[in-house]
Amino acid sequence: MPLSNLSPLLTTFLLLIATTSTSTSTVSLSFKEAPKFYNSPTCLPAIHICSDNAVHVAMTLDSAYLRGSMAAILSVLQHSSCPENIRFHFVASASAHTDNIQLMISTSFPYLRFHVYRFDDSAVLGLISTSIRSALDCPLNYARNYLADLLPVCVKKVVYLDSDLVLVDDIAKLAATPFGDDNDRKVLAAPEYCNANFTSYFTPTFWSNPSLSVTFSDRHACYFNTGVMVIDLERWREGDYTTKIIEWMELQKRMRIYELGSLPPFLLVFAGKIAPVDHRWNQHGLGGDNFEGLCRDLHPGPVSLLHWSGKGKPWVRLDGNRACPLDTLWAPYDLLQTPNFLES
C-alpha cells in the first residue's frame, strides 16, 4: 500500500520501526504533522524546480540535528508569503538511511517540495583536521562546499541555512539579496561582522608566513558566519570555488593554519569579497561559545533570523530544564512529539 494512503498515526509507527534498526539517536523521534501553507494571491507560480519564481533553500540533515532541521523548515514556510514556491534541497550523508529521513520529512510536511541528495563522506574525510569542538569535524559540515555540484545545474542561486536556526521573516527577501553589478558581481552574500578579531581565526603560523598572510593584503576581510549564506551557484561553478576551498584544506593538513572546522577555508576564499546582508538575517551566537555554550542576548537591531550557533542548542537546553531566555523563541517551531501511542 502506498504511504500516502496510510493514516498519519500508522505512518509514524512504521517510521519508528524503520529507524530502530538504523540509529539509536533517532529511534525515539516522532514529529507532528505541520499545517499546510499556501501562496498569497500575489505570488507568481513556480511549477517546476527550474522555475525563475522558485526560491531554493539548502540544508544538511543528520540525526543529531534533525529536530532543529524540522523547526527551521517550519519557520521558513510559516513566514513565507509564497511558501509553495520554496524548493528544499537536503543533503544527507551517503552512509545514512536517507529513505527514513525522506519519510520523516514527508510525514511532517506532506506538501513540501524537496529532494534529498547523498553526500559521500569520503570526499572530505581525508581533508578534515581536528578542531576545537568535535561536532565541527562532522563531514556533513563540509557539504556546503559541494552544493554547486550536488544541485541541478538549472538552480542558479540558493540560500544555505544551518539546522540550529529559525526565521521570523520572509526568506524571499533574503534570497533576493543583490550580488552587485556585472563589473563586480560577488559569488556569495552574508552578514559581515567587522568588529570581530579577524586574526583569531588563523594560527600564528599563518600570520607569520608572508606567502600566506598576503592572502588578505588587498581586501578588507571581515568575519562572516557560514550558517546563513546566499550563493550564486552559477558564478561558483564558473570560478570552480569548490577547488579553491579544497586547496586551503589540503594546506591545513600539511601545516596547521586554523583551528575552527569548515569556517576558515570560506574566510580564506571569500572574506572581504562578499555581498553585504543586513545583520537582521543572522542573529548568530545564541548557542554561546564553542566550549561552554552559555546564554547570550540578541545583538542590537531588528531580527529576521535567530541562529543558535555555538555549543548550546535550544532543544537540548529545553529538554534539560536549563533553557536560556531566548530558547523560548525557538520552542513554538518544535514539532517533536512523544510517541505515547506505542506505550498504549
Classify domain 55-281 by CATH number. Answer: 3.90.550.10
Digit-coded pLDDT (tens) for 199-216:
999 999 999 999 999 999
State how beta strands 228-232 and 157-161 pair.
antiparallel
Q: Per-residue pLDDT for 308 more than 80?
A: yes
pLDDT band of residue 159 (cuts 50, 70, 90) is very high
Q: 132 falls in which pLDDT band (50, 70, 90)?
A: low
Separation between Cα atoms, residue 99 and residue 105, nearest integer Å: 10
The CA distances from residue 19 to 27, 71, 253, in Å, are: 5, 20, 36
Percentage with pLDDT > 70 across the chain: 88
pLDDT on residue 192: 95
Q: pLDDT tens digit string along 54-108?
A: 999 999 999 889 999 999 999 999 999 999 999 999 999 987 777 888 899 999 9
Percent helix, strand and coil across the chain, each to the nearest 5: 40, 15, 45
Contacts of 327 (CB under 8 A, 6+ apart): 308, 314, 317, 318
For the chain, what are the domain ranges?
Answer: 55-281
Of the listed ranges 2-16, 39-53, 252-266, the one predicted with least confidence: 2-16
Q: Is pLDDT at 322 greater than 70 in this prediction?
A: yes
CA 186: distance to chain centroid? 20
pLDDT at 58: 98
d(CA 82, CA 171): 9
169: confidence class by pLDDT, cuts 50, 70, 90: very high
* Residue 203 backbone dihedrals phi, psi, to 5 degrees: -80, 165
Buried/exposed code over 81-118 (b: 16+ C-beta within 10 A; e: otherwise)? ebbbbbbbbbbbbeebbbebbbbbbbbbbeebebebbe
How many other C-beta atoms lie within 10 A of the C-beta of residue 344?
A: 5
Share of the chain above pLDDT 90, in %: 74
What are the tens digits of pLDDT across the range 235-281?
999 999 999 999 999 999 999 999 888 999 999 999 999 999 999 99
Mean pLDDT computed over 160-185: 95
Hunting for cell 507532528 — which residue is that?
A: 32
**For the chain, what is the mean pLDDT?**
88
